[in-house]
Each structure stands twice: as structure tokens, then as C-alpha cells.
């Protein structure tokens, strides 16, 4: 049986989460070459 619990963000290395991973540069360039764009998030009214 798996016992899981919520993520404790106080224990996380904050610097780690501010740097993009190596793969993100590859995908960003690939999607840029393909002309893909991000869609803005819809704001709930």
C-alpha cells in the first residue's frame, strides 16, 4: 500500500524551482520554429 501526503514546499530548494530544466530550452526553440504560441490564461469573471 502506498502512503502519500501533500508536498511540503518549506522543504523544497527554492533556487531549484526558479531555473528552467535543460529540456525546456529545446522545446522552447522547437515550438518557436514551428510558430506555436502560448494562449493567455482565461480570467474567471
Dmax of the chain from CA atoms?
46
Determine the pLDDT at residue 37. 80
Mind listing the pLDDT tens digit for each residue in 1-45?
788 888 888 877 777 778 888 999 999 899 999 998 877 667 665
Give pLDDT, residue 45: 56
The H or E element that residue 23 is part of is: helix 22-33
- Number of other CB atoms surrounding residue 22 within 10 Å: 7
Assign residue 3 a region (left: φ > 0; alpha: ψ between -120 and 50; beta: otherwise): beta
pTM of the model: 0.45
Residue 33, pLDDT score: 93
Amino acid at each position: 500500500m502506498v502512503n502519500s501526503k501533500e508536498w511540503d514546499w518549506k522543504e523544497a530548494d527554492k533556487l531549484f524551482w526558479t531555473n528552467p530544466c535543460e529540456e525546456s530550452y529545446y522545446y522552447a526553440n522547437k515550438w518557436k520554429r514551428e510558430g506555436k504560441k502560448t494562449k493567455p490564461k482565461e480570467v474567471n469573471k
